[in-house]
Structure 1
Amino acid sequence: MRRARTRSQREPTIALINIVFLMLIFFMVAGTLAPPLEADVRLVETADLEGIAPPDALILSADGTIFYRGEVLRDAGAFVERLPSEDATVRLVPDRALPAERLVAIAAHLRAAGADRVMIVTERGLK
């Protein structure tokens, strides 16, 4: 009589690990959000493009001067008084050289004066 072979007990988690690993590989290959640019495509450069601010925005110069439609405002609170009461959204277009502390202080002053939202208009670039 032959002795019965004892089977080794394999862990059932090995199969699960294999499936998860295969799913990971599948999603890494198939999950590309955007195809890469062609190697010979050169993007348009807009460094010399003159941009214009939205007409209803406050312009902040590098020294902190506030402009609205070409005129200098004494402070940011004077602008909030002109806004319609139902939508008090303020758009700020800061100069690149304006210190961040000054920008935050002006935004806080606008909120304290009654602005519902303060939006900062920036330039978006593709890098």
Structure 2
Amino acid sequence: MTPRRARPEREPTIALINIVFLMLIFFLVAGTLAAPLDKDLRLVSTAKIDRAAPADALVLHADGRMTRRGTEIVSAAAFLADLPEEARARVRIVPDRALPAQKLVGVARALREAGAGSVVLVTERGLQ
């Protein structure tokens, strides 16, 4: 009798292939593959659109005046009293670029003391 030759152990490559295949499927499903835009497509430009403050925002001018919808506001408390109840939870301020920071902080503090839930500054997004 001749002794049997010992077979070499097979590497578990099938299991490795299965794992790689499952990862590929996962990333295809989880990732978003978007088709590129047409080369002749021109997107809308918003650079020249007139900018307007939101209707319920307090506009602070460089000279310290406060307005809402073009109407002069006497104080932060008067502005808050003129707002509907649901708009008082989040009050928006649109400050002029040249407004001193001390004036802006003072108005924000006065709004909080008058009962505003939170005060949010509306700014212009810069170029990236």
CA separation of 1:5/1:94 partners in 2, compared to 1, >3 Å: closer, same or farther?
A: farther
Q: CA deviation at 1:113?
A: 2.4
Q: Which amino acid aligns with 2:21?
A: L
Rounded to whole Å, the distance in 2 between the matches of 1:108 and 1:20 is 58
Q: 1:71 is matched with which residue?
A: 71
Letter of the 2:45 counterpart: E
The secondary structure found in structure 2 opposite 1:118 is strand
Q: 2:20 — aligned with what?
A: 21
Per-residue deviation, residues 56-83 of structure 1 (Å, max 9, x unmatched)? 2212345664322223435434322333
TM-score by length of structure 1 reads 0.59
Give the C-alpha shift of residue 41 in structure 1: 0.9
Partner in structure 1 of residue 119 of structure 2:
118
Q: Contact 1:94–1:103 at 8 Å: present in 2 too?
A: no
Pair 1:3–1:50, CA change in 2 (3 A)? same
The Cα of 1:34 is off from its aligned counterpart by: 4.0
In the superposition, the TM-score normalised over structure 2's length comes to: 0.58
Where does structure 2 lack aligned partners over 5 or more consecutive residues?
A: none
Q: Is the 8 A contact 1:94 1:120 kept in 2?
A: yes
Q: How does 1:27-42 map to 2 (within 5 A)?
A: 27-29=26-28, 31-32=31-32, 34-42=34-42
For the residue of structure 2 that corresponds to 1:110, the secondary structure is: helix
Equivalent position of 1:92 in the other structure: 93
Q: Which runs of 5+ in 1 are unaligned?
A: none
Q: Which has the larger radius of gyration?
A: 2
